[in-house]
A and B are shown apart, each in its own frame.
Chain A
Amino acid sequence: MEKITEFFSFSDTTILTVTLGSILLGILGSVVGVFTYLRKRVLIGDVIAHSVLPGLVLGFLVLNEKSFIVLLIGALISGGLSSFLVDYITHHSKLKTDAALALVLGVFFGFGTFLLTKLQGHSGASQAGIDAYLFGQAAAIDLFDVQVIGVCCVLLLLTLLIFFRGFNILSFDEQFAYSIGMPTQWLKFVLTSMTIITVALGVQLVGVVLMSALLITPTSAARFWTSKVKIMLLLAALFGAFGGLSGALISYLNYRMPTGPWIVIVLSFLAFLSFVFAPKKGVLFRLFSNVFFKIKIQKENILKDLFLLENETIEIEELQEHQPSQSVFNRWVQRILVYEKKIKKMENRRFTLTALGRAQGSKIFERHKLWEKYIGKYMHLMRDHVHTDAEGIEHIIDEEIERDLKSSI
């Protein structure tokens, strides 16, 4: 507890820089990730992240100093080369995209490890600096790095703001964007460059292998809460920032815990929460809405059948014969209907409609007839041919569709 308050007081500049760096990169990664996600180019971020390794090491080997800027430039070059190669291979051979991605990713990474052993061979003292880029070492971030990250962050977010409309249209319909005269090639180039810059900035924090999580995970989580790009951007940035903050906090609380992987775990946790609990798209919601819909159909079927046997009572067995579904489920639905005062229970397991239930039953029957008529009129089908179709559609027709159907007949 003490350590947590100590952490949030930010008395130590190291804590401040690490936390600030993590939050900024979390925001940047998720915001740039939104567009790669929407364009279904998520894994190219993954490839770029693995591929910056040889660039980093070469930058170090050539200039022999661990300057953030030099490493950044090396990373930009090899990241750019890798994304170009993936495109080139897929366009000029029969190899599929995913094989090209895997190949470029692996080969660049392999070349990087080869160079890395060379580096470890001849200058053992400073190798620690490079090792940090493999699995991430947030503690290595200093004030200057945070300044660079901050400036890049502002510039990239500004670019995003300026090109927002273009990126938006490009992500949803590239053909359309091209047809209205947008410079799609140029826009794509800007987006890829933004991804490469983000990756190059971020590898110091979470490492080359896990960098893609920063692009993918918060975005996927945000996608489950909204369908609007602007809100998605905000949400993703929020998730990214939260992940960055928690990662920094956890590694502060226990010095053996690496920041980068913990950011990834927190983000994944958020993502899985979203997958399960998000409204509309979440697994639970879809499960429940499925069950509710089934109950609704069963209710309406019971009401309709009772209506058909109007003014008479019907036995449960008879009803089940009519409705070949699970009897336990059926009994549950009957209980709900009794509770809603739409049907009344009589002696020896018989049911009868109440006024409310009769009104609803007649309504459903009417819709069934309406659909049969409509199809009969426009498709010239016999009534007995469209009965099964109407049996299904009657549950979906609402007031509005009913009005339209009536007017068209």
Chain B
Amino acid sequence: MSMGIDDIWIFACACLVAIPCTILGCFLVLRNMSMIGDAIGHAVLPGIFCAYYFYHSKATFPVLIGASLSGLAATFLIQWIHKKVKLQSDASIGISYTLFFAIGVILVSAFGAQADIDQDCILHGEIAQIPLDTLSLNDGFSLGPRQFWMLLGNTLLVVAFCLLGYRALWSTSFDEHFIKSIGIGVLFWQFSLMGMVSLTSVVSFESVGAILVIVFLVGPASTAYLIAKQLNKMIWWSILFAIHACFWGYLAAILFDGSIAGSIATTMGIQFFVVFFFLKWAQNSSNKSLDLQDYE
């Protein structure tokens, strides 16, 4: 096992997938919209396929926007089915995302060969191949992997979005009705948040696949939710957890020679359960000591 410059690039990219995901994930967890995040992760597939098919490249600006729109379309469909058709909300999520994903899988299996995309790619992305596709200046000076710069751009965008909209996002996460009454556009912020989740899912797709995005969104965020009592602390904790999980997950992937995205996702799960059981144990033991004091 030897570490090289490529490993550092891959680790950096994994972190740059995890950080924006987890920042947005904190808001999803607080708003009880985690499963909508999952639905968006699945629903960007047809959009991504169209982008690959028509542009034959992965990271141009129109491609990103187009593919994100298919994620947003799923959000609108879920809202429409829930509000106008009056179907219960969980069923409307289930119907919408399976429809989008089915369309995506059909497109990929029918025309995937022409568009340089296959089913493996949907499943766990190609984070290991990131260093192969580098960006270089005209005189041949290498700037590092192309994907790295894209992920960095997305991270900065998400951070900027959250900083600018922090007050609104913070307040709409906790008391929707109050906020509506003082005239902040709840729907506007909800859909901008969904738009950012959609864009982030598209950008992350190439690295971790369509389905595992959900772990990056809610894994560290839920872990942080268990211990933090304030939103800003929750976000900091979740970023810490995300980077921590990326590190051990990547190490495990090298050690066991398995899928990097899958291994990071597993690590995030283990991390959650460690914190979960630690808190339970701590709570139990503090309860016990309290009981003893009372007794004495």
A residues lining the B interface (CB < 8 Å):
37, 40-43, 45-46, 50, 89, 92-96, 98-103, 105-118, 121, 131, 134-135, 207, 209-210, 212-213, 215-217, 219-220, 223, 256-258, 260-262, 264-265, 268, 271, 275, 281, 283
The distance in angstroms between the C-alpha atoms of A209 and B87, with both chains bound, is 22
CB of A103 within 8 A of CB of B269, answer yes
Give chain A's interface secondary structure class.
helix
The distance in angstroms between the C-alpha atoms of A121 and B128, with both chains bound, is 15
- The verdict on B106 contacting chain A, using a C-beta distance below 8 Å, is yes
Known contacts A258-B109, A261-B106; decide if A103 and B94 are in contact (CB<8 Å): no
In the complex, chain A residues whose CB is within 8 Å of the CB of B123:
113, 116, 134
The distance in angstroms between the C-alpha atoms of A37 and B95, with both chains bound, is 12
Given contacts A43-B90, A93-B280, A109-B211, 10 further A-B contacts (CB under 8 A): A43-B94, A46-B94, A93-B279, A103-B34, A106-B212, A110-B215, A110-B265, A261-B103, A261-B109, A264-B101
- The verdict on B8 contacting chain A, using a C-beta distance below 8 Å, is no
User: On chain B, which size bracket covers the interface?
Assistant: 35 or more
CB of A212 within 8 A of CB of B222, answer no
CB of B102 within 8 A of CB of A107, answer no
Known contacts A102-B35, A110-B212; decide if A96 and B29 are in contact (CB<8 Å): yes
Q: B71-94: which residues lie under 8 A (CB-CB) from chain A?
A: 81, 84-88, 90-91, 93-94
Q: Which residue of B lies closest to A54 (CB)?
A: B266
Q: Which residue of A lies closest to B106 (CB)?
A: A261
CB of B32 within 8 A of CB of A271, answer no
B residues lining the A interface (CB < 8 Å):
28-29, 32-35, 37-38, 42, 81, 84-88, 90-91, 93-95, 98-99, 101-103, 105-106, 109-110, 119, 123-124, 209, 211-212, 214-215, 217-219, 221-222, 225-226, 253, 256-259, 261-266, 268-269, 272, 276, 279-280
CB of B269 within 8 A of CB of A110, answer yes
The distance in angstroms between the C-alpha atoms of A42 and B225, with both chains bound, is 25
Write 25 A-B pairs (CB below 8 A) sorted by A numbering: A37-B91, A41-B90, A42-B90, A93-B276, A102-B34, A102-B38, A103-B34, A105-B38, A107-B265, A107-B272, A109-B265, A110-B262, A110-B264, A113-B212, A113-B259, A113-B265, A114-B259, A117-B124, A117-B259, A209-B105, A212-B94, A257-B110, A261-B101, A265-B102, A265-B103
- Listed from nearest, the 4 A-B pairs whose CB atoms lie closest are A110-B265, A107-B269, A114-B262, A106-B215
Known contacts A95-B226, A118-B257, A121-B257; decide if A102 and B276 are in contact (CB<8 Å): no
Among the listed B211, B219, B221, which residue makes an inter-chain contact with A50, where contact means beta carbons less than 8 Å apart?
B211
B87 vs chain A, min Cβ distance (A)? 6
In the complex, chain B residues whose CB is within 8 Å of the CB of A261:
101-103, 105-106, 109
Give chain B's interface secondary structure class.
helix
A121 vs chain B, min Cβ distance (A)? 6
CB of A114 within 8 A of CB of B258, answer yes
B123 vs chain A, min Cβ distance (A)? 6
CB of B266 within 8 A of CB of A111, answer yes
Known contacts A43-B93, A111-B266, A134-B119; decide if A103 and B215 are in contact (CB<8 Å): yes
CB of B218 within 8 A of CB of A102, answer yes
Known contacts A40-B90, A101-B35, A118-B258; decide if A111 and B98 are in contact (CB<8 Å): no
Among the listed B119, B219, B226, B253, which residue makes an inter-chain contact with A106, where contact means beta carbons less than 8 Å apart?
B219
Known contacts A43-B90, A113-B259; decide if A106 and B280 are in contact (CB<8 Å): no
In the complex, chain A residues whose CB is within 8 Å of the CB of B98:
209-210, 212-213, 216-217, 264, 268
Q: Which residue of B lies closest to A287 (CB)?
A: B84
In the complex, chain A residues whose CB is within 8 Å of the CB of B212:
106, 109-110, 113
CB of A98 within 8 A of CB of B263, answer no
Among the listed A40, A99, A209, which residue makes an inter-chain contact with B218, where contact means beta carbons less than 8 Å apart?
A99
The distance in angstroms between the C-alpha atoms of A148 and B85, with both chains bound, is 38
Among the listed B35, B99, B105, which residue makes an inter-chain contact with A98, where contact means beta carbons less than 8 Å apart?
B35
CB of A99 within 8 A of CB of B91, answer no
CB of A210 within 8 A of CB of B101, answer yes
In the complex, chain A residues whose CB is within 8 Å of the CB of B225:
94-95, 99
The distance in angstroms between the C-alpha atoms of A42 and B123, with both chains bound, is 23
